[in-house]
Amino acid sequence: MYQPRRVVSPVETAPTRTLGADDVNAFTTPVFTMPSFSRGRRARRSWRSTVGERIIPIGLAVAAFGTAGALVITTSVGATQAVPSSLAPSATTALREVESVSRSLTRSEVAQPVVAEAVALLATKRMFVKGAAVIRTAPKDSAAKLGTLKRGASIEITPETSGKYRQVRYAGKLAWALDSVLVGKKPAPLIPEGTSLAPCNKSASIESRIRPDTKLIFRSVCALFPGVNSYGGWRAGGLPFHRNGRAIDIMLTPGAESAMGWQIAQYLVKHAREFNIDHIIFEQKIWTPSTPRWRGMADRGGMTANHMDHVHVAVRA
């Protein structure tokens, strides 16, 4: 059977009243009452709900600007024009007070470490280490050590300094390093005393397939021992040292140049750390940093296989 719908009652308004200048309860008095609906029709919202839930949250914008000496935080209400002039003076005054909140805070006044860190990182730039850089938790020599950066390593810095220390970003956190070891341009690699990077005019083609550590050995030996006949570098097969560019062969005349061969071998031993040497072999004997003495090797059946005509030197991976 057909059931006629119930007619929705019109919205009933509450008796209005005139708000005085000192009427403190202007916000707490509803302007409209909630009517009865058969289908849940939404009533108009009061000005108190509109201002409290929409206008003020939208207008509260916080902008942080990091300067050399201060952090400026500005708070403003940007939608106060939506508030009608009929509101009580006390409500208008409250909104104006929120709108007028604007002041400058020095860094020491900022209690939130997250905000301080965010501002410090606004002006970060990258610099390089010209010597070993010890990273510490605070700008003093006695502070806990977080790590050490080698020469040529890069790191982010901030404008913040304290005495001889500069603030840096290390492992995702703010830390401190000596300002004197940081430079704007990446420094050239240090050349150990007694070594050379001067180009070699013998067997220069081997440089295209050897590693930087191997290249330093090649050029240093070439500069100090011009009597070497030739040099060997990359070759396929055998152990991985030659085929990975990690070894060179310093070719000599067997017997006649044995003394020079041992001079070269001893030179390599002396600079084993700088050259990152893995092992040295000459005249059927081997030397390694882990066992720093010359030991005999098994006979491999030939002059070259037994390294009688060359000094073989290999670097670590």
- Amino acid occupying residue 33: T
- Amino acid occupying residue 48: R
CATH number of 124-183: 2.30.30.40
pLDDT at 171: 92
CA distance 67 to 22: 44
pLDDT at 18: 54
C-alpha distances out from residue 124 to 46, 70, 117, 134, Å: 49, 16, 11, 19
Q: How far apart are the first and last CA of the chain?
A: 92
pLDDT at 102: 45
Domain ranges (residues) in the chain = 1-60+75-101, 124-183, 204-315
pLDDT averaged over consecutive 10-residue blocks of the chain (317 residues)? Answer: 52 52 51 49 55 49 42 41 48 53 48 54 78 93 94 92 96 95 87 86 95 95 96 90 96 96 97 94 97 96 96 96
pLDDT at 80: 42
